Amino acid sequence: MTGAASGIGLAVAKLFASSGASVALVDLYAQKASEAAQSIAPAQDACVCSVACDVSNAESVEKAFAEILQALGGAPEILVNCAGIAHVGSLATTTPEALDQLYAVNVRGTYLMMRAALGPMLAQGRGVIVNMASIAATAGIPDRFAYSMTKGAVRSMTLSVARDYISQGIRCNCISPARVHTPFVDGFLTKNYPGHEAEKMKELAAAQPIGRMGTPEEVAQLALYLCSEQASFITGNDYVIDGGFMNVR
C-alpha cells in the first residue's frame, strides 16, 4: 500500500492486515510509516512491515520492491496505490513547477509502482491493482486544474493496464472518492482558516449531497472488496464513492 502512513492508505493497510493479508506500508516518511506499521495488529500468520519510498523516483521504487520481497517472503499479489498530493488552483494560477510536482507523484508515482509490481505478478500469473483516482477525473471541480489532470491520467492508466493484461491474470481497477475526511483536510483548514475550522468543516460536509464527507475506512472497504476473490469478475472499472456528488445533486 502506498501513501500508507496516514489517511486512506493507512485505513487500507489496517483493514487488509486485519483480514489476514501480509502488508507492506510504503510511504515517503519513514518514521511515520514505521509508527503506523507498529500500530497495526496483523491477523494470525500475517506480517506487517514499513518501507520508505519516494514513489516519484525510479531507483527508490526499485529499492522498495526489493525490501518488500524480502520482508514478505515473496512477490506481492496486490498493489493499492494511495500515494498522492493535492493542489488548489486554476489554469491561470497553476505554475509549471506545481504541475510538474503533481505529475511526479500522482502520475509518475502510480506508473512506477505498477511497473515494478507487474513483473512479479506476471511471473505468478495473477495479481490485483487498485489505484486511487478521484471524482475530479471526470467532474469539473473548481480550482483543481492540475489535480484533476493527474487523476484523469490515473483513471486512464487503470483502464489501459486492465485491457493489456486481462489475459494474463491481472485485474486493475480504480476508486474515485469525493471529499474524504483525512488528516490532510484538517491540516488544510488549520493552515488556511485558523479560528474558523469548524465553520469550514461544515461547509465541506454540506457540499456532499449525503450531508457529510466520506471516511477512509469506507474507501478501504471498497478496496478490500475489489482485491478479493469475490471481485474476480471485475476489472477495468472506475468505482465512484461520493455520497451522491456525481448523480444526486
Whether 114 maps to a domain, the answer reads: yes
Whether 207 maps to a domain, the answer reads: yes
Q: What is the pLDDT of residue 125?
A: 96
Q: pLDDT (tens digit, 9 = 90+) per residue, 138-167?
A: 999 999 999 999 999 999 999 999 999 999
Residues 6+ apart with CB under 8 A from 50: 4, 5, 24, 25, 26, 27, 30, 33, 34, 36, 37
Q: What is the pLDDT of residue 22?
A: 95
Whether 118 maps to a domain, the answer reads: yes
Q: What is the pLDDT of residue 164?
A: 98
Whether 2 maps to a domain, the answer reads: no
- Report the number of distinct structural domains present in the chain: 1
Residues lower than pLDDT 50 in the chain: none
Q: What is the pLDDT of residue 204?
A: 87
Whether 246 maps to a domain, the answer reads: no
Per the annotation, the verdict on 103 as an active-site residue is no
- Residue 182 CA to residue 186 CA, distance in Å, equals 7
Q: What is the pLDDT of residue 186?
A: 87
Q: Domain of 14: which CATH number?
A: 3.40.50.720
Task: Give which of 42, 43, 41, 36 is closest to 10, Cα–Cα.
Answer: 36
- Residue 178 CA to residue 246 CA, distance in Å, equals 9
Q: For residue 151, with 0-12 CB atoms within 10 Å meaning exposed, 13-18 middle and 19 or more buried, which class applies?
A: buried
Whether 30 maps to a domain, the answer reads: yes
Residue 16 structural domain = 7-241
Q: What is the pLDDT of residue 184?
A: 81
pTM for this prediction: 0.94
Whether 38 maps to a domain, the answer reads: yes
Backbone angles phi, psi at 208, to 5 degrees: -95, 130
The residues that bridge with 131 in the sheet, in sequence order, are: 81, 174
Q: What is the pLDDT of residue 42?
A: 84
Q: What is the pLDDT of residue 43?
A: 82
Q: Out of 29, 103, 111, 147, which one is annotated catalytic?
A: 147
Beta strands per DSSP E along the chain: 23-27, 48-52, 78-81, 127-132, 170-177, 238-241
Whether 190 maps to a domain, the answer reads: yes
Contact status, residue 149 vs residue 133, Cβ threshold 8 Å: no
- Residue 105 CA to residue 36 CA, distance in Å, equals 21
